[in-house]
Amino acid sequence: MQRFDLVSETSTERVWTQVVWSVQWTREVRAVVIQQVGKKGQVTGYAVLFSTAVTMPAHEIMALYRSRFEIELIFRDAKQFLGSQDVQLRSQQGIEAHWNVVLLTLNLCRLEVLRAAGGGQDLVFSLEDMKRRAYNALLAQVILSNLDLSARFAELEHLPFSPLNFGLKAA
């Protein structure tokens, strides 16, 4: 990292940048290296970002990549869990209406997670986790109703390791 300029440093990450020559693209690119730093100051991981906008500041490039990641997750969730790729329509209006319904459903799910979490800037949203939690709740309701214990369903939310969260991915 001798030839790179240190842009910022926190207790958890260091950001370095430099304009370098790309042999592949035969042009200059801005390289941004984000190092994750451990508790003892050692580098535990890193990410390297590239941009052809060589005058763009490193933090702006980082913000654009993070936005891109969030947008890609939205479309991935829409395809995998809401069936956006399983529809066959012949008109442009029908396709637009279908996508509007899919994205509305996705936004309502995100709103529900945000409401349940009481807001939060760094909230991680996964439609897969939301569906798994709904399936867990349905299974718990069926089991408890078969055991004539339906009144105890509310207790599941307040257990330290709620069975409703079984199988959720740690973010």
pLDDT digits (tens, 9 = 90+) for 24-61: 999 999 999 999 999 888 999 999 999 999 999 999 99
Provide the pLDDT confidence category of residue 129 given band limits of 50, 70 and 90: confident
- Report yes or no on whether pTM surpasses 0.85: no
CB atoms within 10 A of CB 160: 4
Q: What is the mean pLDDT of residues 132-143?
A: 88
**Residue range 63-87, pLDDT digits in tens:** 999 888 888 888 888 888 887 777 8
In whole angstroms, how far apart are CA 10 and each of 58, 73, 102, 161?
15, 27, 39, 33
How many Å apart are CA 5 and CA 26, to the nearest integer?
22
Chain mean pLDDT for the chain: 87
In the structure, what pLDDT confidence band is assigned to residue 171 with cuts at 50, 70 and 90? low
pLDDT at 121 over 80: no
d(CA 35, CA 13): 5
